Structure 1
Amino acid sequence: MRTKRFSEQQIANALSQLASGREPEVVCEDLQITRETLEAWRSRFAGAALSTAQRLREAEMELGALKRMYAELALENERLKILLTGKR
């Protein structure tokens, strides 16, 4: 799994700098990111408070865990069906 290079706090700080009128090129240069990354952050976290961004991240992590659990259970269920029917 890919690790995040920037925390939600750093992203929120960058977006607040943009909101205060700082040039996007300067913010990108300071953080060493591309303009596309900055626009992706802006579209994802636009108008969201830091707590909202943190809750979103936690929800995404929980969803990922639930998807993995479902995949494991579905695989186990399929194996049990094969064992019960005797088909391979």
Structure 2
Amino acid sequence: MLKEAETGIPVKELCRKNSMGNLNFYKWRDKYSIIQTYDIKRLNKLEAENRKLKQMIAELSLKSQLQEEIIKKL
């Protein structure tokens, strides 16, 4: 969307096309416009890794709770 906006397509039209509010577009632009393509790819990779780690923590926490319940029953 940022590249499209740079080519001269009006922001309102881009936001309508992508179901995004104007305010969100400008916040997004401020956050990501200074980031290079490499940095965006790296950021996406780190966010994916973060999601996996959070999932692992949730699973281990659940497993730990189940083990505690089993121990209490014994």
Say whether the fold is shared (TM-score over 0.5). yes
Q: Which moved further from structure 2: 61-70 or 33-42?
A: 33-42
Structure having the larger proportion of residues in helix: 2
Contact 1:28–1:35 under 8 Å retained in 2: yes
Following TM superposition, the consecutive aligned residue runs of length 4 or more in structure 1 with deviations greater than 2 angstroms are 30-34
1:69 counterpart = 2:53:
no
Structure 2: runs of 5+ lacking an equivalent: none
Q: 1:54 to 1:12 in 2, by over 3 A?
A: farther
- Report the counterpart of residue 3 of structure 1 in structure 2: none
Q: 1:60 to 1:49 in 2, by over 3 A?
A: same
Residue correspondences, number: 71
RMSD: 2.4
Q: Which moved further from structure 2: 70-79 or 43-52?
A: 43-52
Aligned letter for 1:82? E
- Report the counterpart of residue 3 of structure 2 in structure 1: 13
Separation (CA, whole Å) in 2 of partners of 1:30 and 1:40: 14
Q: TM-score under structure 1 normalisation?
A: 0.63
- Report the counterpart of residue 28 of structure 2 in structure 1: 41
Aligned letter for 2:41? Q
Q: TM-score under structure 2 normalisation?
A: 0.73
Aligned letter for 1:46? S
Identity percentage of aligned residues: 21
